[in-house]
Structure 1
Amino acid sequence: MAAPDPPSSKSPEPTNSNGGSTPPETSSAIVVLGAGEAGTAVLHTLNDAGLAGDVTLIEPSSYHYEQPKWVKVGTAGMKKEDTRSSKHATIPTPVTWIRERVAEIDPDVQTVTTDDDTTIGYDHLVVALGIETLWERIRDLRPNLGTHGICSVYGYSQAEKAWEMIRDFPGGRAIFTIPSTPHKGGSAPWLVLRRAASLWREHGVRDQTTLFLAVADPAHLKGDTFEELLRHRDDEDDLHVYTGYDLVNVRPEAHEAVFSVQKGASTSRNVLPYDLLHIVPPMRPPALLEQSGLAYRDGAMRGYLEVHPESLQHKRFSNVFGVGDALGIKGVKTGERAQEQACTVVQALEHRLSKHP
C-alpha cells in the first residue's frame, strides 16, 4: 500500500491549469520523461495496472540499449548490435510517444517543454532521465578514447573497441578506474576487471599482467560488490587497490594516467604508467534537472532528483516522482533496482489517481 502524501510547501493537486501562462498544447494524467531501462519499466508497470491509456512518453531515441550487456561486448565479444533494439518493441501500445528531447521542466505550472517547443501539461510527472557520461571532464580523453590502450565499456561503440584491446592485450600494467561521481551499472567496473583477468589467464598472459584498481571515493569499496572483491582477492593476488585516486588527465603518447589523489585533507597528483587503461567516466544527471528546481541544490547529491528514498516522491512537489540513475538516493544504480523503483512509483500513482480520478 502506498504511503500517504507527506506535507509539502509545494504540493499541487493534479490539475491541467497552466498558471495563467501559455496553455500546453497537450496534457496527460501521467508524463514519463525518458525510456531507458527505468522509464520503460514504469511504462510496462503502468500498462499492467491498466493505467497506460492517459500516459505520454517524451523520449527522442528510436532505439533501446541494454547497457548492462555492454560489459559482455567489451569482455566476451558479444556483438554490440545485439544490445540494441527498436523502441517500438518496448513501449506499450496505449502510450502516446513524443519523439523529442526534454528542454525544460516547470513544476510550478506542471508543464514540460521539448527542444521543438512543444509544451505538455501533466497531472503527474515521472522523471527517468538517467545520467550522462562526462568524458570531457578527463583532460585529453575524448579524442583518444579507443586508442593508445585507452578503453571503456560505457558506450555503444566504445564497448566494441574495448573488446579489441582487452582481447589482444599482450600483458603489462592494466589500470581500471572508478570515478568520484556516482556511476551507473553497479558492479560493472569490477566485472570488467574480473572478466578481463579471466580472459588473459585463458590467453596465457595473466602472469605477465599486473592489475590496478584506482577508486576515487573509498565509499565505493563498501557494499556487497566490493566486499566480494576483497574476499576474492586471492583470485587476483597481485591486485593493487588505490583509494582516493580520481583520474583527471591522460597522456596517450606516454601511456600515462594522471590522478588527483585525496588523502584526508591533502590533495596531490600522481602519475601511473599503463599498458591498458579501462575508464569508468564521471557521470551526472542532465543539467535541465538542476535548472528546473527539482534537483538538490548542493551537497554530494547536487543535480540529482530530490526525492524521499522510500516513496521516490519529490520532497517539494508531491505529484513528481523519479526512477533510475538520476535519483538523489544512496545505493548502486542498476537495472534490477530500477525495476523495483518502477513498482513503488506505480503503486503511488495508483493511490493518487484513485483519490483524484
Structure 2
Amino acid sequence: MTAKEEPLFPIVVLGGGAAGSAVLNALGDAGLAADTALVEPSPYHYDQPEWVRVGTEGRDKADTRSPRHANIPSATTWIQKSATGIQPDEQIVNMDDGTAVRYEHLVVALGIETLWDRIRGLKSSLGDQGVCSVYGYEQAERTWEMIRSFSGGRAIFTAPSTPHKGGGAPLQILRRAESLWRDTGTRAQTELVFAVAAPTGLKEGAYDDLSRDGDKDDVHVYTGYDLIEVRHEAQEAVFSVTKGRSQTRQVLPYDLLHVVPPMRPPALLEESGLAHRDGPMKGYMEMRPESFQHARFATVFGVGDALGVEGEKTGERAREQAASVAQALLRLRAPNK
C-alpha cells in the first residue's frame, strides 16, 4: 500500500488505556464499533486505579493486567502500532513503521505519562530504602512490602504540582497506609507528612481532618512543597518550597517516602498542534469543555487525562466524557448509517 493509499476509518481512537477503553465501550453501545479503529501498541491493558490496592492492601498485581483484546469489541479494528505523529489538517495519524491511517473523526485518548526523571535521584531510588510509589506496575508491589514492614519514623507522602491520575489518590494512599499502621500499632511511632506541591488550592473541606503546616495533631500538611530531589543514601527528600512570592529549599529526612511523580501528556500531543501552546494547560489538548471537541479542528475529539480541563483526572470522569463523545459521533454519522 503506497503513502497515497492509507486506509480510511470513520473513527480512529488513539490510545487504549482507561480513557480509550471507555471510548470503545461507549462507541460499541452506540452501534459504532465496526466503524472504529484503535491505535494502541501494547498487548496488555492495565487497571491502574487498582494499583492503589496493590500497594496498600497487597492485591496481586497480576490481577490488574489483562490481554488487550479482551477490552476491544470484536467488530473494531485493532492497529497494534505506535503513533508517531498526528496531522489534523490532513486527518492522518502516522505510525512508527512508516505507515499511516486516515480518519474522518479522531478521538484522542492518550492519557498522561509519569515523569520519574523530573525528580533528581528518584528513578534510581525507587523500590529501595523506603522510596516507593503505586504509580507503576512493578513499583506498586514493592510499595506494599515497604508499607507492610514499616516500623515507624517519618513517613512522607507527596502530591505533585502537575495534574495527576487518580484525583484524590495521593491522600487516599496516605490514609490507607495510616489505617494499616493503626491496626499493627505502628501509627503511634509514626510522624505522617503530606507534602502538597500546590502552594494554594486545597479544596475547601477536602482536608478538614488534617492538620496544617506543622501542627502536631494528626497529619502534618505542608502546602507549596514540591519534591525536586531524592537523596537516596542519606534518606532525605529535597523540596522547593513556595510561600507567597518567596521560594526556598527544604530538606526533610524520611524513613518512608511515597512519591506521586510529575505527569504530562505525551510529546506526540504537543507536537501535533492539538495542544495548548502556553498557559497552565500547556501541552494538554485544547478543546471545548461542553462538547470535548477540539477548539480548532472539528473532526477531533478528546477523552481522559490528556484534556486541558480543570478538575480531577479520574476513570469516572473519563467514562462520562466517552459517553458524551460517542453520542456526538453518533449524531454526526447518523446520515451515513
Q: Normalising by the residue count of structure 2, what TM-score does the alignment of the two structures yield?
A: 0.96
> Quick one: distance in 1 between partners of 2:252 and 2:211?
22
2:50 to 69, 74, 78: 69
Identity of aligned residues (%): 63
- Conservation of the 8 A alpha-carbon contact between 2:118 and 2:228: yes
> Quick one: distance in 2 between partners of 1:92 and 1:41?
11
Output aligned runs, 1:124-163, within 5 Å. 124-163=105-144
Taking only aligned residues, the RMSD between alpha carbons, in angstroms, comes to 1.6
- Conservation of the 8 A alpha-carbon contact between 1:24 and 1:121: no
Output aligned runs, 1:189-268, within 5 Å. 189-219=170-200, 221-222=202-203, 227-231=205-209, 237-268=217-248
> Quick one: distance in 1 between partners of 2:329 and 2:79?
21
SS at match of 1:228: coil
In structure 1, the partner of 2:62 is 81
> Quick one: distance in 1 between partners of 2:5 and 2:168?
42
> Quick one: distance in 2 between partners of 1:295 and 1:24?
28
In structure 2, the partner of 1:6 is none
SS at match of 2:94: strand
The C-alpha deviation readout for 1:138-166, integer Å capped at 9, x for no partner, is 00110110111100000001000000000
Following TM superposition, the consecutive aligned residue runs of length 4 or more in structure 1 with deviations greater than 4 angstroms are none
Output aligned runs, 1:270-289, within 5 Å. 270-289=250-269
- Conservation of the 8 A alpha-carbon contact between 1:24 and 1:119: no
> Quick one: distance in 1 between partners of 2:244 and 2:82?
42
The reply to whether residue 116 of structure 1 matches residue 97 of structure 2 is yes
> Quick one: distance in 2 between partners of 1:145 and 1:240?
24
The C-alpha deviation readout for 1:64-112, integer Å capped at 9, x for no partner, is 1111100000000000001111111110001000111110000010000
Q: Offset at 1:353? A: 1.1
> Quick one: distance in 2 between partners of 1:83 and 1:338?
19
Between stretches 265-274 and 119-128, larger displacement belongs to 265-274
> Quick one: distance in 1 between partners of 2:322 and 2:119?
33
Change (3 A) 1:24 1:248: farther
In structure 2, the partner of 1:308 is 288
> Quick one: distance in 2 between partners of 1:221 and 1:239?
15
> Quick one: distance in 2 between partners of 1:59 and 1:182?
23
Q: Normalising by the residue count of structure 1, what TM-score does the alignment of the two structures yield?
A: 0.90
Unpaired runs of 5+ residues, structure 1, are 1-20
> Quick one: distance in 1 between partners of 2:159 and 2:206?
16
In structure 2, the partner of 1:13 is none
- Conservation of the 8 A alpha-carbon contact between 2:51 and 2:140: yes
The one-letter code of the counterpart of 1:48 is D
In structure 2, the partner of 1:185 is 166
- Conservation of the 8 A alpha-carbon contact between 1:24 and 1:111: no
Q: Offset at 1:228? A: 3.5
Q: Offset at 1:355? A: 4.7
Q: Offset at 1:189? A: 0.6
- Conservation of the 8 A alpha-carbon contact between 2:210 and 2:220: no
The C-alpha deviation readout for 1:30-56, integer Å capped at 9, x for no partner, is 000011111111111111111111211
Q: Offset at 1:218? A: 3.9
Q: Offset at 1:233? A: 5.9
The C-alpha deviation readout for 1:218-277, integer Å capped at 9, x for no partner, is 455216xxx33324669x942011011100001011110000111112211110111000
The reply to whether residue 324 of structure 1 matches residue 336 of structure 2 is no
Change (3 A) 1:40 1:335: same
> Quick one: distance in 1 between partners of 2:293 and 2:21?
18
> Quick one: distance in 2 between partners of 1:35 and 1:180?
26
